[in-house]
Structure 1
Amino acid sequence: MSERAMPQYTLFHSFAFSLIMYFLVYKPYLMLSQFSREGNKPTLADLEFDFPTDVYPVGRLDADSEGLLLLTNDKQLNHRLLNPKFRHNRTYYVQVEGALTSEACQLLADGVTISVDGKPYHTLAAHAQSIDEPPLPARNPPIRYRANIPTSWLSIALHEGKNRQVRKMTAAVGFPTLRLVRWAIETFTAEGMEPGQVRELSRADVLRGLRL
């Protein structure tokens, strides 16, 4: 954890001061990106960390995806990161079914047509490339191994975040996603983190890491 900056305060209408805080979380596989309960599904409330009650995720990761989530009670930052006008890069490591081709990577980079809210949507230009298997923490449970079907890994960087976008994109070029890990948000990466781990960030960390 980096050195903490001077505390930042926001004055709400109740005239009560609230400490602005930031956290980086490595969300485990099958955990919901929320604190509220849905049946017996694990949530962020199950992490071994005492989050302030007014802290929430900025955006989300699907339950079957893993990797970085940014949590904060900074409403201005939340608005900026969720507003499509202010683009920020998110990099994903994706394991797909099949032997990935350079042609498929180029299609992903140029943009493909997927369905969003039942309507055709052409994704924005991205950076996509085939990579060797990255040194990620083991997934629990692991991907089902099938000897007669190869798998491949790619890195894809987006600055938009439609619902299940990466999975829809790889399926559109003929390579279904088997495992999806959000590895980076701008310059923040999951390097050295384990599923369920939480890092507290200073405001200076956030401004620098998100290039704000």
Structure 2
Amino acid sequence: MVSQFISSHNVRLLGELAFDFPEGTHAIGRLDNLSEGLLILTTNKKVTRLLFQGKQPHERTYLVRVKGHVSEETLQRLKIGVPICITESVEYITTPCRVEIVERPAGLFDHPRELPNNAPHTWLLITLTEGKFHQVRKMVAAVHHRCQRLIRVSIEDILLGDLQPGEVKELPEEEFFALLKIDDYKD
């Protein structure tokens, strides 16, 4: 499923979920078609600007399964920033971020494309305050690991928790903006 409501391609869309979305609903911080996890949907057009283009950086956290074993040296490189290509001719050094090795969370649903647990791999928890095009995938590739699974688990204090794929949870507006740490959302 792609994280949009309209497409010129023959793909599954958000409107196909079993939920009656209000008119004008759009996705904030979209996920590519190989990624999964938390997706924020809103009718408030100011949210994108306030969350991703405002003066205050906002955190996004990803659970990432990478091929092979990640060393302490590699963790440090990811933490301080690595060069990634954001276009064919533009290289960018990622801003410092938080990265830690974690165990596969209990209760994480199996993904049909996920390799068996006995294949050498490492689970990472990566928290960024920026999001260049496919940044997490490019970061782990820059340190010679292949991203095998990418799950966004939070945006600020909004958590994926135990929501299952395709499940929708509504939040009251004040709680929504408090969890996102956005104060100036009202006109």
Q: TM-score, normalised by structure 2?
A: 0.91
Q: What residue identity is the alignment partner of 1:143?
A: E
CA–CA distance in 2 between the matches of 1:50 and 1:115? 39
Gaps of 5+ in 1: 1-30
Match of 1:138 among 87, 102, 110: 110
SS in 2 for 1:87: coil
Report the alpha carbon displacement of residue 59 of structure 1 after superposing the two structures with TM.
Answer: 2.0
Q: What residue identity is the alignment partner of 1:134?
A: P
CA–CA distance in 2 between the matches of 1:37 and 1:174? 34
Give deviations 1:33-73, integer Å, cap 9, x for gaps: 10113433211111111101201011211010000111111
Paired residues for 1:81-120 under 5 Å = 81-83=51-53, 85-118=55-88, 119-120=90-91
CA–CA distance in 1 between the matches of 2:34 and 2:109? 15
Gaps of 5+ in 2: 183-187
Q: What residue identity is the alignment partner of 2:97?
A: A
Paired residues for 1:27-66 under 5 Å = 31-66=1-36
SS in 2 for 1:54: coil
Q: What residue identity is the alignment partner of 1:79?
A: R
CA–CA distance in 2 between the matches of 1:94 and 1:162? 16
User: How many aligned positions are there?
Assistant: 180
Mapped contact 2:23–2:43 kept (Cα < 8 A): no
Q: What residue identity is the alignment partner of 1:69?
A: L
Mapped contact 1:137–1:195 kept (Cα < 8 A): no
CA–CA distance in 2 between the matches of 1:123 and 1:52? 36
SS in 2 for 1:199: coil
CA–CA distance in 2 between the matches of 1:87 and 1:81? 8
Q: What residue identity is the alignment partner of 2:9?
A: G
Mapped contact 1:113–1:120 kept (Cα < 8 A): yes
Instruction: Give the equivalent residue in structure 1 for 2:185.
Output: none
Q: TM-score, normalised by structure 1?
A: 0.80
Residue 126 of structure 2 corresponds to residue 156 of structure 1: yes
Match of 2:99 among 109, 128, 137: 128
Question: Quick one: structure 1 residues 100 and 186, their matched pair in 2 at CA, closer, same or farther if it must change by over 3 Å?
Answer: same
Query: Which has the larger Rg?
Result: 1
SS in 1 for 2:20: coil
Report the alpha carbon displacement of residue 84 of structure 1 after superposing the two structures with TM.
Answer: 5.6
CA–CA distance in 2 between the matches of 1:41 and 1:173? 32
Q: Percent identity?
A: 39
Instruction: Give the equivalent residue in structure 2 for 1:199.
Output: 169
Q: What residue identity is the alignment partner of 1:35?
A: F
Q: What residue identity is the alignment partner of 1:121?
A: Y
Mapped contact 1:112–1:172 kept (Cα < 8 A): yes
Instruction: Give the equivalent residue in structure 2 for 1:25.
Output: none
Instruction: Indicate the RMSD between aligned Cα atoms, in angstroms.
Output: 1.5
More strand per residue: 1
Residue 129 of structure 2 corresponds to residue 165 of structure 1: no
Residue 60 of structure 2 corresponds to residue 68 of structure 1: no
Higher mean alpha-carbon deviation, 180-189 vs 72-81, is at 72-81
